[in-house]
């Protein structure tokens, strides 16, 4: 399965502007043979944690855009957006929405709000992991800061071929981002796709460094500072063969 990671800038808290900018990039990725197109964390607003009225109802404009694009181009399209729950709590979840061409929508609610950046004051924490199967490829969904919690990747390893990690990871800790993406791939003998934004917003600078990493930690595609689209083919048979050759997961306690 070919995966595209769209490393893009974000117009701060302007959904319609971001929809307009991203639609041709998704179209281009689909034309390049991508079956799954990954956008960044908070792809439609930026990490505007304290913006008034940030939260959308589940299935609001950001999720609808992903679903419309998936249907139009016959691909899976995902990214995270702020979605409200149904219990009256005004804080949204940071929801990774992954939409399929047949109208299927899967959601993973970010388990670890980023306390250092104040996300925990404005966003609620999710509680459940999410692994789905697309074209016989087992895909596990995480978001940005989750990358620092290796034990949760470990828990899903045996049922995962590819980890998807959309992010808004700022420049000062870029080495952490790149190192942790590679480490999660090596530890779990699985592909890792990290899609980070570029540009500036909320007083922070983002420099991308998106990566598609194979089960042995080799880079299949990398992004630098500007907007770009990364493409790479992932193969669950390669994951199986790698794990058979190197039985590291069998030694995990």
List beta partners, residue 162.
139, 191
Determine which one of 56, 81, 119, 144 is catalytic: 144
> Does residue 52 carry a pLDDT above 90?
no
Cα 158 to the center of its chain, rounded Å: 20
**pLDDT, tens digit, 9 for 90 and up, residues 56-103:** 999 999 999 999 999 999 999 999 999 999 888 889 999 999 999 999
24 has pLDDT over 90: yes
Report pLDDT for 54.
87
Provide the whole-model pTM.
0.98
41 is catalytic: yes
H-state helical runs in the chain = 15-31, 61-73, 119-122, 150-156, 174-188, 236-245
CATH of the domain at 177: 3.60.110.10
Quote the number of domains for the chain.
1
Question: Is 121 an active-site residue?
Answer: no
Residues 219-231: pLDDT tens digits?
A: 999 999 999 999 9
Single out the catalytic residue among 56, 81, 83, 110.
Answer: 110
Please give the biggest Cα pair distance in the chain.
Answer: 52
Domain, as residue range, for 187: 2-251
Q: What is the mean pLDDT of residues 15-29?
A: 98
Length of the chain: 253
Q: How far is CA 114 from the centre of its chain?
A: 15
pLDDT for the residue numbered 246: 97
Q: Is 49 a residue whose pLDDT tops 90?
A: no
With the CA atoms of 155, 133, 80 and 75 taken in that order, what torsion angle do they form, in degrees rounded to the nearest 10?
160
Residue 195 among the catalytic residues:
no
Among residues 41, 56, 83, 119, the one annotated as catalytic is: 41
């Amino acid at each position: 399965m070919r995966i595209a990671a769209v490393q893009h800038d974000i117009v701060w808290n302007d959904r319609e502007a971001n929809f307009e900018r991203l639609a041709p990039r998704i179209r281009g990725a689909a034309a390049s043979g991508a079956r799954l197109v990954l956008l960044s964390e908070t792809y439609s607003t930026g990490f505007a944690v304290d913006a008034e009225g940030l939260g959308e109802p589940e299935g609001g404009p950001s999720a609808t855009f992903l679903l419309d694009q998936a249907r139009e181009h016959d691909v899976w399209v995902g990214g995270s957006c702020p979605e409200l729950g149904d219990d009256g709590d005004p804080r949204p979840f940071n929801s990774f929405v992954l939409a399929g061409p047949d109208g299927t929508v899967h959601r993973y609610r970010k388990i670890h709000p980023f306390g250092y950046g104040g996300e925990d004051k404005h966003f609620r924490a999710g509680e459940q992991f999410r692994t789905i199967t697309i074209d016989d490829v087992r895909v596990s969904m995480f978001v940005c800061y989750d990358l620092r919690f290796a034990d949760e990747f470990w828990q899903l390893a045996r049922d995962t071929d590819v980890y998807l990690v959309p992010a808004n990871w700022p420049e000062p800790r870029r080495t952490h981002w790149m190192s942790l993406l590679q480490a999660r791939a090596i530890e779990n003998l699985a592909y890792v796709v990290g899609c980070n934004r570029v540009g500036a917003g909320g007083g922070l600078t983002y420099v991308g460094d998106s990566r598609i990493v194979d089960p042995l930690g080799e880079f299949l595609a990398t992004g630098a500072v500007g907007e770009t689209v990364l493409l790479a083919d992932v193969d669950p048979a390669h994951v199986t063969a790698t794990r058979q050759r190197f039985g590291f997961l069998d030694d995990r306690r």
